[in-house]
Structure 1
Amino acid sequence: MNEMPEVMHHINMRKGDVGRYVLLPGDPGRCEKIAQYFDNPQFVTQKREYVTYTGTLLGEKVAVVSTGIGCPSTAIAVEELVAIGADTFIRVGTSGGMQPELIPGELAILTGAIRDEGTTLHYLPVEFPAVADTEVVTALREAAIQNQCGYHLGVSQSKDSFYGQHQPERMPVASHLLERWKAWKMGGAVCSEMEAAAIFILGSIYRVRTGGVMLIMANQEAPGPRVVYDDLHGTISTAVGALKILIERDRKAAQAA
């Protein structure tokens, strides 16, 4: 097996460029905005869809790294970040609600993800579940409560095709897509997004902590006129708050050891 290069080919970073704790938005344009929630934010690098800023929280080095859209580019980012020393990852982004009672503007704190994508099949059989780390889930829940954000714990659908979800009727496999969507809803899935499954599967393989907090931006299953909510403040604040909780817990654990 080939050794990893000193500078990671895709994210353009090496050991020391980031610390343990990393937030993972999809959109490169959100990185600078998220970094403003850090102390001492600094731009580090940009290559392809991967934009990186670092800063500190409670004196600990943290980073935000964009992953682009979908599981293939997300898996590359996580692979290379793990290789340079990161071990705690929180996906932060937007999603579509899948249960009629979910209100745009609320948060989905992910406990797991439906592997409705192809990337993770290159890592583990489909029967292996994509699950978030319990420590990260509880930290996100605590941070959401502190920020007075409405939230739902549950499973997301990680898909490969945005338009396969939003316009399934025009796809040659429409009946297949609609049948599976109905099954995900009946199973209680809370939201649909495109990256969490890869993050969670890699977390299991590499024994690193992973989680996700998603803004429910819209809900195609809700009755009445379509409502879109795109203010990410509560989502970002919850992710940052969860990192602070994890940093404090990690320090206490290290002192007790």
Structure 2
Amino acid sequence: MAIQQSELILNPDGSVYHLNLKPENIAYDIIFVGDQDRVSKITKQFDTIEFSTQKREFKTETGIYKGKRLTVMSTGIGPDNIDIVINELDALVNIDLETRKPKEKLTSLNIIRIGTSGSLHADIPVDSFVMSKFAIGLDNMLRSYLIDEVSNEKIENAFIEQTNWDLRKGRPTVVSCSSELAKRIDSDKMHKGITATAGGFYGPQGRVLRLNIQDAELNSKMDNFSFEGNRITNLEMETSAIYGLSALLGHQALSLNAIIANRARGTFSSDAYKAVDELIEYTLGKLAEK
């Protein structure tokens, strides 16, 4: 059965609505960044750029880096934007946009997020790299989908118990990264653990300005959380949504963060741009390896 126009919206030129992309515009290896200005910081290192477009905060460039075709895309901030980006990327490769029917042969994309984040532990210093072995979603977006088939109930239950999580905020979701991509990108430069994804920057991440928050001790509880040797390493706003939707749709996903703040020490990187540039260089090098 064809997908209705109201459910899969296309622009007059046939591109998907928010991303302004057609299937031929993207590679199968895709780098996500949050900031649209960071796209060109990556693609300026490409040998050639074959395609570039932007609509709202979604900027996309595709080109060749050391013989490898790559796409770099800005997602903006938050799980809600990730919901748009991954669903529309999947539509580009797994739905025939003319017949509006899912394809019989499905394509799996490789999606790597390069982001910035704050560490929750004193021993994960600023300017270091974190690979998200798991992501725990505190934002509730994934609960709109049948997420249980790819989520880790044991870690979810341990988190709820150890943090005395208020279920009125929704049940947290835990999804693992792609083991295939983790093996491809890993090295001794990477700290590994669980990344917590919040639905906002201030209250949801424990920041207090003029509003009191529901659980003022949540960050310290997360700092002390442990499950089978896995601890929560950092806090940000996208990884859980990337992991959950990718797993459900059959894509490979991995999230990498340059640590620019240490919440335990109260410190901030003296050169956050350099830390991000080094993570970009590292990731591009790994993707270009034969």
TM value normalised by structure 2: 0.75
Q: Is the 8 A contact 2:260 2:268 kept in 1?
A: no
Map of 1:181-220 to 2, 5 A cutoff? 181-187=219-225, 188-220=231-263
Cα pair distance change 1:83/1:58, threshold 3 Å: farther
Q: Distance in 2 between matches of 1:161 and 1:128?
A: 16
Provide structure 2 residue ranges, at least 5 long, that are not aligned to the other structure.
94-107, 149-170, 226-230
Structure with greater helix share of residues:
1
Secondary structure of 2:26 counterpart: coil
Secondary structure of 2:77 counterpart: coil
The residue aligned with 1:154 is 193
The match for 1:98 among 120, 141, 163 is 120
The residue aligned with 1:254 is none
Q: Is the 8 A contact 2:206 2:219 kept in 1?
A: no
TM value normalised by structure 1: 0.84
Q: Is the 8 A contact 1:218 1:229 kept in 2?
A: no
Check if 1:118 corresponds to 2:156: no
Check if 1:180 corresponds to 2:218: yes
AA at the equivalent of 1:200: Y
The match for 1:33 among 37, 41, 50 is 41
Bigger shift: residues 155-164 or 44-53: 155-164
The structure that has the greater radius of gyration is: 2
Secondary structure of 2:122 counterpart: coil
In the TM superposition, residue 59 of structure 1 has moved relative to its aligned partner by: 2.6
Secondary structure of 2:64 counterpart: strand
Q: Distance in 2 between matches of 1:132 and 1:33?
A: 25
Cα pair distance change 1:127/1:189, threshold 3 Å: closer
Q: Distance in 2 between matches of 1:32 and 1:10?
A: 20
Bigger shift: residues 124-133 or 9-18: 124-133
The residue aligned with 2:4 is 2
Cα pair distance change 1:183/1:19, threshold 3 Å: same
Identical-pair percentage: 25
Q: Runs (4+) of structure 1 moved beyond 6 Å?
A: none
CA offsets, 1:103-156, max 9 Å, x none? 1100011111110113212122546522110111122214xx5xxxx3201111
Provide structure 1 residue ranges, at least 5 long, that are not aligned to the other structure.
249-257
Number of matched residues? 237
CA offsets, 1:39-88, max 9 Å, x none? 21345100011001111134332100100000101221111112212611
